[in-house]
Structure 1
């Protein structure tokens, strides 16, 4: 087979070699093989959304649902809106709970501001050198060195020659199954195939990640066609999300920490024009930026969208354990946790926070590294929570101070309560005052997850979360909704799996 090496503007020390099987007739990548690149690809799942959106802002113009509006809103908030000076950084550059592992990647696409770790003389850890320990009072003056010299793979074991298809399925290259694979990938004549070798650097890996949000063929677009990133568009995210199975039968109840929200809805267009919300709802939105990509993809089962990162997630989920270093490493990818210290106190999203352990002068989040003679508590490091260390209100939650009221648009532009913004939204949507009505809704676990997915895949997050259908509803449907909801005097509060507003 012919072989050629496109010259890319990268230092060869910072590139990974990919061997690709290409169909010359359709000019498409069939699959690629690489040892080191598998870990880079898997690391995408560990990245917090705030970091991904920041990378897109700085170098790759891709719009990921409403996330760009959300992070830009955070940056425009006055610093006095936050509980501490560190809160804005925590949202725009959130830490990765798998950071200690990802420091060993051959390509680090998220290395602009690497995370540093400091400790006091006792048992507290901080991401910042400033401040003093709440326990002993000493400053965080001891930086903990991070071991980035580990041998072997980061997530995968050894050097497995796994196959990566154009839509980011990761497949074991085992024997006879390959014939079926070629058929599934549309290869009918091997005479039209060609083997090419590519060098992938940091910029190409970043482009691949961004294309993967909006394309089913990102490898072809990056390696062969150099095409611009397509638009994500809008998706009705409330269709097909398997929230029920994830919530283990949980339903909204009076004891749950529900969030109250006022929606301003267009009666004729059946859309949410904007919402008026307290800081608890905006804290929930802000927490989306701290979530790892793998956590969001796990909540998106059966959601139809333009990207192919769901294929990557499913591949890791189905990958034989023999290819992964341990069950801990698999959990980092398919069930990632928040970085220690980034927990939002309202548990509506159900994500857990990782823990740091200091074992043999090394920092780790892997409990299996703790020797038998030691307990987890004896080596666990408490985290100095940067979002609250200047806040004397012990009952406060989230990243923002309260009480405060905000205007939130359908595509998650957030501002402190602004009549000017509300009027401009109605004007842009061409919705007259006579066409609007108010609805008070309550956001519980189910709504929080729907809102998360809606903000990820489309630009109408509030509408796609709270309005099931944008078309007209029949009289029968209206009557049915009345019987399915618990009514209050001015609205229908969300208390069932139905989400239409009439």
Structure 2
């Protein structure tokens, strides 16, 4: 059985019972760096039941709201899975970590149940079960994905890292500042694998299919890699993104597949840009980002729970643009009163 333990040399301040710094090779630093690539939904899911018990601002409430939200408010069945088990845009790189922490949904490949629809008709591919093909049938036919055999990942002293060039010894301080043992600032050109992997850490993008038009933070998403549906001489069918396999002796035909937008229903699944929720719809959002469908009951119960007299209530109209969305994002990480910090505190600052 493969040993996935990583050895660290720790310097401990015994009087304060505190780790001052640790020394390790690139394999541990790769794991720490991979935290920067994780979607927030994965971070909440992986940490909410792990010691030390702590909430990440309002994010736990936001995650729980999606968990209990009735699927009739979502545009497709895949939307809830995408929010609760989001894909990592750097997922292919993170698969090569010595310790894989993210337990998200494995990438899957589905084509239409109708014979030859993927080969000669609509030629669609879905990463989620129960998507509806444009012919009207469900895309529940899971297909094998064939790629050339990758080089086996062997963790020894001569391995290069995933994000970090190896072999190398690095120092990680107690506040997770990473430094080579010989120099004070980590040099990206010298110590990181490539410009592409560096960008995955400092400017991560969303996984393909997770973005939508009008997103106020304007976070980019990676593009889908090309996929091909291949029929072989033995009547076998497989999906691949490796063009070399298409030209192998066993392949007799192939077609380029279009990956559908998992957030869009069958009549619109080739277009992109729509969000996760079905509209028009209204919701109640409390200060701690607990979200429920709007009703007179939920509004009154929230007021009673907070013990706020009706005479003290005022109605304000607020607007959300890029600045407000950024403030809300920050507040949701560090505060349990995200709406107050975003809107009321901003008004107070302007007034002063």
- Shorter-chain TM-score tier: 0.7 to 0.9
Instruction: Pick one of 439, 449, 472 that aligns with 2:316.
Output: 439
Task: From 193, 216, 230, give the equivalent of 1:348.
Answer: 216
Q: C-alpha distance in 1, partners of 2:195/2:17?
A: 38
1:154 aligns with 2:162: yes
> In the aligned structure 2, how far is the partner of 1:160 from the partner of 1:21?
19
Cα distance, 1:337 vs structure 2: 0.4
Q: Does residue 1:426 correspond to 2:271, yes or no?
A: no
For 2:307 and 2:205, locate their aligned partners in 1 and report how far apart those are by CA, in whole Å.
Answer: 42
Is 2:36 the counterpart of 1:28? no
CA distance in 2, matches of 1:358, 1:409: 42
Equivalent residue for 1:357, pick from 215, 220, 225: 225
- Distance in 2, Cα, partners of 1:165 & 1:75: 36
Matched position secondary structure for 2:196: helix
Match for residue 468 of structure 1 among 339, 345, 348: 345
Decide whether aligned partners of structure 1 residues 43 and 395 sit closer, same or farther in structure 2, where only a CA change above 3 A counts. Answer: closer
Aligned partners of 1:100 and 1:68: how far apart in 2?
A: 27
Instruction: State the distance in 1 between where 2:338 and 2:328 align.
Output: 6
How far is the alpha carbon of 1:326 from its aligned partner?
A: 0.3
Deviation at residue 500 of structure 1 after TM alignment: 6.1
Structure 1 distance, partners of 2:11, 2:146, is 41
Cα distance in 2 for residues equivalent to 1:414 and 1:391: 29
Listed one character per residue, the Cα deviations across residues 267-296 of structure 1 (whole Å, up to 9, x for unaligned) are xxxxxxxxxxxxxxxxxxxxxxxxxxxxxx
* Structure 1 equivalent of residue 126 of structure 2: 126
Q: Offset of 1:344 from its aligned partner?
A: 2.3
In structure 1, how many angstroms separate the alpha carbons of the residues matched to 2:227 and 2:187? 30
Residue of structure 2 equivalent to 1:44: 35
SS of the residue corresponding to residue 299 of structure 2 reads helix
Q: Look up the match of 1:80.
A: 72
Equivalent of residue 406 in structure 1, options 252, 258, 283: 283
2:33–2:163 contact (8 Å) kept in structure 1:
yes
Quote how far apart the aligned CAs of 1:152 are: 2.3
- The Cα of 1:172 is off from its aligned counterpart by 1.4
- Post-superposition Cα deviations, 1:277-316, rounded to whole Å, max 9, x if no partner, equal xxxxxxxxxxxxxxxxxxxxxxxxxxxxxxxxxxxxxx8x
Gap change, CA 1:388 and 1:112, over 3 Å in 2: closer
Change beyond 3 A, Cα 1:152–1:412: same
Greater RCO, CA 8 A, separation 6+: 1
Q: Retained in 1: the 8 A contact 2:131–2:262?
A: no
Give yes or no for contact 2:160–2:166 (8 Å, CA) kept in 1: yes
Question: SS state of the match for residue 323, structure 2?
Answer: helix
Residue 329 of structure 2 is matched in structure 1 by 452
Does 2:299 align with 1:384?
Answer: no
Q: 1:57 aligns with which of 48, 63, 78?
A: 48
Kindly state the Cα deviation for residue 422 of structure 1 after the two structures are TM-superposed.
2.1
How many angstroms apart in 2 are the aligned matches of 1:460 and 1:362? 47
Matched, 1:68 2:60: yes
Deviation at 1:105, TM superposition (A): 0.8
In 2: Cα distance, 1:359 partner to 1:121 partner: 12
User: CA contact under 8 A between 2:4 and 2:99: conserved in structure 1?
Assistant: yes
Paired residue total: 311
TM-score by structure 2 length?
Answer: 0.77
Within 2, Cα distance between the matches of 1:83 and 1:359? 25
Residue pair 1:83, 1:388 contacting (<8 A) in 2 also: yes
d(CA) in 2 for partners of 1:402, 1:138: 23
| Aligned CA distance change for structure 1 residues 124 and 390 (closer, same or farther; 3 Å) | closer
**Equivalent runs, 1:177-196 vs 2, <5 Å:** none
**CA pair 148-431 structure 1, distance change in 2 beyond 3 A:** farther
CA deviation after TM superposition for structure 1 residue 129, in Å: 4.8
Change (3 A) 1:396 1:350: closer
* 1:43 positional shift: 0.5
- Any conservation in 2 of the 1:46–1:97 contact (CA below 8 Å)? yes
Structure 2 residue aligned with 1:142 = 143
1:382, CA displacement in angstroms? 4.3
Alignment of 1:49-448 (within 5 A): 49-60=40-51, 61-111=53-103, 113-117=105-109, 120-121=118-119, 125-131=125-131, 134=134, 139=139, 141-145=142-146, 147=150, 149=152, 152-174=160-182, 319-358=187-226, 382-390=258-266, 392=268, 397-448=274-325
C-alpha separation in 1, matches of 2:71 and 2:160: 44
Question: In structure 2, do the counterparts of structure 1 residues 381 and 350 end up closer, same or farther at CA, with 3 Å as the change threshold?
Answer: farther
Whether contact under 8 Å (1:357, 1:381) holds in the other structure is: no
Change over 3 Å in CA distance of 1:118–1:106 after alignment to 2: farther
